[in-house]
């Protein structure tokens, strides 16, 4: 009987001792939290804003014959009244683009050669490419993003290869069948804006097409059509569901697969 009491007394003492230690520890931790703060810090991630640009044509898109371009430029105080300049389609001129292979024996390229520019390529950088910050090209090889990694492509460039870099753009291209509402065939390019050269708050955008030549294995073609509007600016700062639309006039002198009749950009 005495042995049983001793066991019970020891159990009660040990149990009370453990409870006391637990309470003391909890009180100590509580005091630390009051003094230093134990709330969990939650870091909010900056939301990624996507842009979606739809380019509309009179006829179905044909990537075997044509290159399709989406040009972009971040807005700055010095963008001026012509934020994006494009190689004109009339008269149709050879249309190299930054980083993309081209035929250095082409007559248009050769006509721009100088002592300081043996390839004749710098003419295009000083006349057009230094008004672009990024551009997409869509053809039979898929969708590719070329970046300046600056506000614009460098106007002093004489070697195209310096921009021939592969990027994970996170972009997709979708080709639709006939759209009866707009009476058009559409190419929609969707991309996360944080993958572009700069974290811009606004973007100028424009579209172009070129006709590939069978004898030119580089894939570069001749300018066919362009569509832009200097007043069309896509706000990507924070607002979602912002839409800008540019309407083009049909150009029946060229194939409907290269004729740009509409350009619409939105964010989400």
Query: Is the pLDDT confidence value at 15 over 70?
Result: no
What pLDDT score was predicted for residue 31? 45
pLDDT tens per residue, range 105-159: 888 888 988 888 888 899 999 999 999 999 999 999 999 999 999 989 999 999 8
CA atoms within 13 A on the CB side of 233: 15
Mean pLDDT for the stretch of residues 217-245:
83
Instruction: Report CA-CA distances (Å) from 140 to 64, 66, 143, 212.
Output: 6, 9, 9, 11
Domain chopping of the chain, boundaries: 1-43, 50-267
Alpha-carbon distance values, 146 to 130, 170, 193 (Å): 13, 13, 14
Question: What is the predicted pLDDT for the residue at 82?
Answer: 66
R_g over Cα of the chain: 31
Residue 7 has pLDDT above 50, yes or no: no
Per-residue confidence band for 239, with pLDDT thresholds at 50, 70 and 90: low
Share above pLDDT 90 across residues of the chain, in percent, rounded to a whole number: 50
Instruction: Pick from 18-22, 35-39, 40-44, 158-162 the range whose average pLDDT is largest.
Output: 158-162
Predicted local confidence at residue 119, as pLDDT: 83
Model confidence at 185, pLDDT cuts 50, 70, 90, reads: very high
What average pLDDT does the segment 241-268 reach?
88
Nearest to 146 by CA among 220, 246, 235, 242: 220
Confidence check: pLDDT of 93 > 50: yes
Residue 183: left if φ>0, alpha if ψ -120 to 50, beta else—which one? left
**What secondary structure letter does DSSP report for 180?**
T
Judged against a pLDDT cut of 60, whether residue 223 lies above it is answered with yes
42-90 pLDDT tens trace? 556 677 889 999 999 999 999 999 999 999 998 765 555 668 999 999 8
Question: pTM to 2 decimals?
Answer: 0.81
Return the number of other C-beta atoms located less than 10 Å from residue 19's C-beta: 10
Q: Give the span between the Cα atoms of 73 and 202, in whole angstroms.
A: 9
């Amino acid at each position: 009987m005495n042995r049983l009491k001793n066991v019970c007394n020891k159990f009660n003492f040990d149990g009370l001792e453990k409870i006391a230690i637990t309470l003391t520890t909890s009180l100590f931790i509580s005091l630390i939290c009051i003094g230093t703060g134990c709330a969990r810090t939650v870091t909010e991630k900056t939301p990624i804003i996507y842009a979606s640009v739809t380019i509309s044509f009179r006829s179905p898109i044909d990537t075997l014959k044509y290159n399709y371009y989406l040009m972009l430029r971040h807005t700055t105080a010095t963008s001026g009244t012509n934020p994006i300049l494009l190689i004109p389609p009339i008269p149709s001129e050879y249309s190299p683009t930054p980083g993309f292979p081209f035929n250095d024996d082409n007559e248009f390229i050769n006509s721009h050669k100088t002592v300081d520019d043996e390839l004749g390529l710098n003419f295009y950088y000083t006349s057009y490419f230094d008004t672009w910050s990024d551009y997409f090209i869509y053809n039979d090889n898929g969708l590719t993003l070329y970046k300046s990694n600056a506000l614009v492509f460098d106007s002093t460039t004489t070697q195209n290869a310096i921009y021939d870099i592969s990027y994970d753009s996170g972009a997709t291209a979708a080709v639709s069948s006939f759209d009866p509402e707009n009476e058009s065939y559409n190419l929609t390019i969707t991309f996360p804006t944080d993958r572009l050269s700069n974290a811009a708050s606004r973007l100028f955008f424009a579209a172009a097409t070129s006709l590939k030549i069978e004898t030119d294995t580089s894939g570069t073609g001749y300018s066919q059509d362009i569509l832009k509007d200097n007043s069309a600016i896509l706000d990507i700062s924070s607002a979602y569901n912002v839409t800008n639309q540019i309407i083009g006039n049909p150009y029946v002198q060229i194939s409907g697969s290269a004729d740009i009749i509409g350009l619409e950009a939105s964010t989400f």
